Structure 1
Amino acid sequence: MKRDVSAHLDVLVHADSVLEFQIAVARQPGMDLSESLVFELDGRRCQAREVLGPHGTRIHVLRCGAGNLHAYYSATVLGTALAEPPSEYDLAIYTRPSRFAESDKLLNFAAAEFGCGIDDPETPARVAAWVARRVRYLPGGSTPSDGAVETLLSGTGVCRDFSHLTVALLRAVGVPARVASAYPPGGVPMDFHSVPEAYVGGSWRVLDPTRIAPRSTLVRIATGRDASDIAFLGNHGGDITVNGLWVNAFVDGPLPYDDFEQPLTLA
């Protein structure tokens, strides 16, 4: 499957700062990636430093002064990533509570609702389906500081909220789970997308309780414990204002069908 993805960020930097972008497609064996990444501050090219993160994640670190910064990224992706064998560290870290996936606060609730799922391969799909029924997709229905507990109580949110609640509930019943950011061909609304992944039957399986885009079309960007690890833009220093964000993702040909129930690995 050929996928074309792109992103354009317009950021007003008010004072000297160090910015971290996670908008480039993750480098993974089995995929053919052709890409371009350009940063311009007040019309002048500037160079970012690439830092490698887990699971092919790439962070582009840019130290810049005040001004109007534009980031332009485009990529063509061919092939499917080879499945990455999880390490013992992965299975440990992705079972622990984290900032936005507070599984320790949901232990009793998750046990009463789903039982103990560590030995039940059907549990991740049941949890994702439950979240899909329980939470309504509502832009503006949550804040950037909301975690899984707030999403459970409010019943509204965007993709990151769906991911956090799914991951927190899975960890609460003993299933290792993590989040990934991705480009979503066919996604409505079109934006950077967040999906949960669960460790099932010896491999990571992608879930998507939002059901926004076919999972087989998704293109991985970053992977981590929760949104704090996969944010598309981080700021250390001066204040910034994001004036605009444009994301596009397409497949060559018709979008494939996804029942959102069958096990699937994220490309």
Structure 2
Amino acid sequence: MIRTVGCSIVVEVQTSARLVLQVGSADLPTKDGVLERTEELAFSLDGRPVEAVSLPAPHGGRWHVLDVDPGRFECQYQARLSGRLPAPSLRPGEDISYLHASRYAESDRLFAFARAEFAGLGRGHELLAAVREFVNGRLYYLSGWSRPTDGAVDTLLAGQGVCRDYAHLVLALLRALDVPARMVAVYAPGLSPMDFHAVAEAAVDGQWWAVDATGLAPRSSLVRIATGLDATDTAFLSSYRGDIRMLEQYVTAYSDGDLPVDDHRGAQALG
């Protein structure tokens, strides 16, 4: 499978700020799989190139960090990826760190609810499918409705949200059921309307499997950008020490040929 992904981000930097971007496809080991990538990433301020410091993000992915003065800041990214990777293996300690309640996935507050709703299902793929079907059936996808501060409990009560809200509720329910679960920001060929996308990953039998309760794009076509406990770790742009205003955001993601069919019921790793 060959996938072409990219984004264009334009912001007005109103006062000097530190910008942290996560837009490049994640670097992943290619053991037992082949993934080839060519990419271009460029930053500019008022039309002049600016350099970023590239750092590994704590949960996987790449931070690009820039200190910029006021002006028009632009980020342009494009990548072409071919091949596939196997389901990532659970590394030592991940089964503990991804069981914790977090800012947007309040598994501690959903403990009793999850145990009652999914009693008797164990912690295997049957449970992942049941949680996915529950969230898909419980929520209504409504673009632009939810607030940036909403967590899984807010989403459950509201009954609607966007992809990050679906993912947060999946994370919270699975962690409440003692299944390690994490958030993944992705490029999603087939997504409509096109944007950055968010899904969950859950650990079963020592490997990470994708869970997308929205069902908006086939999981095998997804391209990982960033991974973390929740949206706190996976934002495509964060700013500190100054003020910025978003002017433009444009995302592209498509696959050469027909997209794979995905009923979102069986086990499937990220593309």
Q: Is TM > 0.5 for Structure 1 vs Structure 2?
A: yes
Measured in 1, the distance between the counterparts of 2:186 and 2:59 equals 13
Cα deviation, residue 119, structure 1: 3.7
Question: What percentage of residue pairs aligned between the two structures are identical?
Answer: 45
Residue pairs, 1:20-169, within 5 angstroms = 20-28=20-28, 29=30, 30-54=34-58, 56-115=60-119, 119-169=123-173
Following TM superposition, the consecutive aligned residue runs of length 4 or more in structure 1 with deviations greater than 6 angstroms are none
From 176, 181, 201, give the equivalent of 1:177.
181
**SS of aligned partner of 1:186:** coil
* Amino acid of the structure 2 residue aligned with 1:236: Y
Alignment match, 1:231: 235
Measured in 1, the distance between the counterparts of 2:195 and 2:260 equals 19
Flag structure 1 segments of 5+ consecutive residues without an equivalent.
none
**SS of aligned partner of 1:164:** helix
| Contact 2:139/2:166 (8 A) holds in 1 | yes
| Contact 2:167/2:200 (8 A) holds in 1 | yes
Measured in 1, the distance between the counterparts of 2:227 and 2:80 equals 20
- TM-score when normalising by structure 1: 0.97
Cα deviation, residue 256, structure 1: 1.3
Alignment match, 2:195: 191
Cα deviation, residue 82, structure 1: 3.9
The two structures, once aligned, show a CA RMSD in angstroms of 1.2
Alignment match, 2:219: 215
Query: Structure 1 residues 171 and 80, CA, compared in 2 at 3 Å: closer, same or farther?
Result: same
Flag structure 2 segments of 5+ consecutive residues without an equivalent.
none
Alignment match, 2:262: 258
Measured in 1, the distance between the counterparts of 2:146 and 2:43 equals 31
Measured in 2, the distance between the counterparts of 1:223 and 1:116 equals 30
Measured in 2, the distance between the counterparts of 1:164 and 1:99 equals 10
Measured in 1, the distance between the counterparts of 2:160 and 2:82 equals 35
Measured in 2, the distance between the counterparts of 1:238 and 1:123 equals 44
Cα deviation, residue 84, structure 1: 2.9
**SS of aligned partner of 1:11:** strand
| Contact 2:124/2:205 (8 A) holds in 1 | no
Measured in 2, the distance between the counterparts of 1:119 and 1:234 equals 35
**SS of aligned partner of 2:108:** helix
Cα deviation, residue 83, structure 1: 3.5
The count of aligned residue pairs is 267
Measured in 2, the distance between the counterparts of 1:242 and 1:261 equals 37
**SS of aligned partner of 2:125:** coil
Measured in 1, the distance between the counterparts of 2:264 and 2:17 equals 41
| Contact 1:117/1:174 (8 A) holds in 2 | no
Measured in 1, the distance between the counterparts of 2:177 and 2:86 equals 28
Alignment match, 2:8: 8
* Amino acid of the structure 1 residue aligned with 2:21: F
**SS of aligned partner of 1:47:** coil
